[in-house]
Structure 1
Amino acid sequence: MKHPSLEYLLVACVAAIVTYLLTPLARRVAIRWRAVAKPRNRDVHAVATPRMGGVALFGGFALALFVASRLPTLHESFQSGTVVMMWVVIAAAVICAVGVLDDRYELDSLTKLAGQVLATGLMVTLGGVQIAEVGVPWSDTTLVLGRDLGVPVTILFTVLTINALNFVDGLDGLAAGITAIAAGGFFVYSYHLGRAGFADIVSPATLLAAVLAGACLGFLPHNFFPARIFMGDSGSMVLGLLLSAASTTATTSTDPQVYRDGLSSLPIFLPELVLVAVLALPFIDLLLAVVRRVSRGRSPFAPDKRHLHHRLLEMGHTHRRAVLLMYFWSGLVAFGGVGVSISDSGWLVVSVLVVLAASAVLALAVPALRRRRIQRTRRRVARAMDAESARPGSVHAQGPR
């Protein structure tokens, strides 16, 4: 069988184009329906901006899957996983509907959580999208979770992923870009496994990742700073659910003990920890937010202005630079983890990652270094002026005539 790389590229382009074309329509509907995000104290945007971009994202995703089901090779993904694909789409539609209601009426946290659990439960219990086994690092042991444990674990992981994407959606283009990077990482990982013969190259995981990345890229031109539309909860929750579906099916499509030589003894070589590497940034932000709020006696869902992207702005980075830095860190962790796991030269990849990480830290510190340089210059100028004024015979020392 030929490698269907061109078909994956085609469906990704379909998802991008359809999402791009549907987004202005979603914007007009959001304005007419008054689903608009008005500026609040914790928000970064200064003008009212329509939400409901998730409707366009879902439309592009669904239509791209329909096109894939008609292609010569990718239709095999539906033959091997028809039930999986059907319930993933249904679950995405349910959670998108909940998100649309929240974009318009701002639902309370418990109602949104109930909608997340409902949609995830449909996908996991009826669609069979669940974590079935987990490999133990540095051993040949594989823990089989079984349905009784696999179902709640997968639901919990999916709900965490949904809220991680929701929490990180605080700057224009941030959530869509990070999701595109994460989906791209999963696509590279699962496609490599297919070419190496460890998994089906037209598996649902690979197709979901390709379509998800395409939809996010089609939405970004409308959402990047300055954004003309926000994805809203209708978008962030859909992206979180689909990203979890792609990662879960990717990690269960192969034996987790595939890599066991050299650097492959590191935990990052295991599929479960590759997905943790891809989702590291949103999960770190989620964990810090929960700890910060609970320690202050507040609800974990209570919004604030102390997310990672907010802190980048406080450090002096512009809106665009803060988003690009978050993209860089996400790509570094995601593709770094995937690169180490599939590369024959693991130590070379690690060395490159260390250099890139050092460069990112330097870029992160640029505004602080610039402020310190300006402050030192001002202090030198002030001292020079003080010395000049204290000199006998100087104009400042003589005073006004």
Structure 2
Amino acid sequence: MEYILILLVGFFLALSLAQMIIPRILIISLRKRLFDVPDFRKIHSRPVSRLGGVSFFPAILFTVTFLVGLCKIIGWGIFSDSTSQFPEVLLLCSGLTLLFTVGIADDLVGVRYRQKFIVQFLSACMFPLAGLYINDLYGLFWIHSIPVYIGMPFTVLLVIFITNSINLIDGIDGLASGLSMVALFVYACLFAYNDLWIYSLIALTTVGVLLPFFYFNVFGNANRGKKIFMGDTGSLTLGFILSFLTIKYTMNEYAETNFNYEGAILVAFSLLLVPCLDVIRVVMRRVRNGKSPFLPDKTHIHHKFLAMGYSPRKAMIAILCISFAFGLSNILLISHVNNTLLFIADVVVWTVMNLWMDKVINDREVVKKI
């Protein structure tokens, strides 16, 4: 019972901190004119503060460290087995500090992509440094154990990819935060089920931080200065935490934790299939059309829903439902279907869905011309 109590305390403490911080960020943004100004690529028509993500890392860091320290002082055994996990959590905080710094700089004055990439690379290197890397694909594409010299660089690239996927999916109100909350809640349950409580605490604390932001982001009134975006600070923070939890859940540590779930690789990544597959599709499309893969455009999945006539809020809800469907179906089917076949089925469903969306958009354009 004390385990659930600590998780709930962490959730509500983080929620309360974010609820106090975000209105003050809005006041500072108004006084200092720190706004995201609308342009041809953006959905909003009024200047909106882009500093909502500034509240994420401090609230998460305070909540997790405070509760871990308090439990040690009181003598509660919830984190008694987490001494070996502390290096992972500490280096997670080190990487988050780097990303938090470059995110704020980018939201305030702008940072070149090359500089952001270098910081992302250094942050991603924190995971292998802590001994955390992809060491097993659990039979996906008939690959099992992965040697260290392949697993570590592969993990670094994967962290950068996931982090940027969350950054790029942040195109309409509530989408990045909504997708992240769904994934984080499932991770909290998975880690709690496997008695990895400190990771469950990190996941549920992040959900608590996101809820007040989600309210101001989706339901806030821009005309009254009550609306806020997470900016690069927030999306990089979320992407990095999701990367950490994904790789931790995926890493085969059977000898240490008595945990060897054959579906770990696909279950972990099914929670992030929508942003990850969307980035792969967009990059492939840009390369095929002879454009730079880093050149921004309006071809992401949320842009497609808007082009189909959906409102931003309905598009957000539809994409969240798609993400939830992918995650739930993979979790239910993983024990009955081969990893590789299930992943191929996911890709086929995703491809057919996008082809159907393209057809609907083309038909609407033809009708408009007529």
TM-score (norm 1): 0.76
One-letter amino acid of the structure 1 residue matched with residue 196 of structure 2: V
SS of the residue aligned with 1:133?
coil
Instruction: Determine the structure 1 residue equivalent to 2:55.
Output: 56
Instruction: Determine the structure 2 residue equivalent to 1:120.
Output: 124
Instruction: Determine the structure 1 residue equivalent to 2:316.
Output: 323
1:204-219 alignment runs, 5 A limit: 204-219=198-213
CA contact (8 A) 1:173 1:225 kept: no
One-letter amino acid of the structure 2 residue matched with residue 9 of structure 1: L
- TM-superposed CA distance for 1:81, in Å, is 1.3
In 2, the alpha carbon distance for the partners of 1:116 and 1:64 equals: 24
In 2, the alpha carbon distance for the partners of 1:203 and 1:232 equals: 30
Q: In 2 relative to 1, CA 254–190 (structure 1 residues): closer, same or farther, beyond 3 Å? A: farther
In 1, the alpha carbon distance for the partners of 2:328 and 2:67 equals: 25
Q: In 2 relative to 1, CA 301–73 (structure 1 residues): closer, same or farther, beyond 3 Å? A: farther
- TM-superposed CA distance for 1:33, in Å, is 4.5
Which residue of 142, 145, 148 maps to 2:147?
A: 145
- TM-superposed CA distance for 1:34, in Å, is 4.1
- TM-superposed CA distance for 1:245, in Å, is 0.5
- TM-superposed CA distance for 1:88, in Å, is 0.8
SS of the residue aligned with 2:145?
strand
Instruction: Determine the structure 2 residue equivalent to 1:307.
Output: 300
Structure 1 residues 259-288: Cα deviation after superposition (integer angstroms, max 9, x where no partner): 5xxxxxxxxx52111122111000111112
Which residue of 110, 120, 134 maps to 1:131?
A: 134
One-letter amino acid of the structure 1 residue matched with residue 108 of structure 2: R
Q: In 2 relative to 1, CA 128–24 (structure 1 residues): closer, same or farther, beyond 3 Å? A: farther
Matched, 1:75 2:76: no
Matched, 1:13 2:12: yes
CA contact (8 A) 2:164 2:236 kept: yes
In 2, the alpha carbon distance for the partners of 1:113 and 1:169 equals: 18
1:113-262 alignment runs, 5 A limit: 113-121=117-125, 123-137=126-140, 142-146=144-148, 148-192=149-193, 194=194, 201-226=195-220, 228-252=227-251, 254-255=253-254, 258-259=260-261
Larger mean Cα displacement after TM superposition, 70-79 or 284-293: 70-79
CA contact (8 A) 1:168 1:282 kept: yes
Q: In 2 relative to 1, CA 27–335 (structure 1 residues): closer, same or farther, beyond 3 Å? A: farther
Which residue of 67, 78, 98 maps to 2:102?
A: 98
Give % identity.
Answer: 26
Structure 1 residues 31-86: Cα deviation after superposition (integer angstroms, max 9, x where no partner): 44543211110111111111121110112211221233023244336423111111
CA contact (8 A) 1:177 1:220 kept: yes
- TM-superposed CA distance for 1:253, in Å, is 5.8
One-letter amino acid of the structure 2 residue matched with residue 100 of structure 1: I
In 2, the alpha carbon distance for the partners of 1:271 and 1:66 equals: 28
- TM-superposed CA distance for 1:291, in Å, is 1.3
Instruction: Determine the structure 2 residue equivalent to 1:396.
Output: none
- TM-superposed CA distance for 1:100, in Å, is 0.6
In 2, the alpha carbon distance for the partners of 1:253 and 1:28 equals: 46
In 2, the alpha carbon distance for the partners of 1:137 and 1:5 equals: 34
Structure 1 residues 142-189: Cα deviation after superposition (integer angstroms, max 9, x where no partner): 41422x322211111110001100110000111011001111122222
CA contact (8 A) 2:163 2:235 kept: yes
In 2, the alpha carbon distance for the partners of 1:179 and 1:221 equals: 14
CA contact (8 A) 2:3 2:78 kept: yes
CA contact (8 A) 2:184 2:207 kept: yes
Instruction: Determine the structure 2 residue equivalent to 1:108.
Output: 112
SS of the residue aligned with 1:305?
coil
CA contact (8 A) 1:16 1:219 kept: no
Larger mean Cα displacement after TM superposition, 111-120 or 211-220: 211-220
- TM-superposed CA distance for 1:341, in Å, is 4.4
SS of the residue aligned with 1:224?
helix
Larger mean Cα displacement after TM superposition, 283-292 or 5-14: 5-14
Count, aligned residues: 337
Structure 2: gaps spanning 5 or more residues: none
- TM-superposed CA distance for 1:103, in Å, is 0.5
Q: In 2 relative to 1, CA 31–92 (structure 1 residues): closer, same or farther, beyond 3 Å? A: farther
Q: In 2 relative to 1, CA 32–301 (structure 1 residues): closer, same or farther, beyond 3 Å? A: farther
Larger mean Cα displacement after TM superposition, 283-292 or 8-17: 8-17
Report which structure shows greater RCO (CA 8 Å, sep ≥6): 2
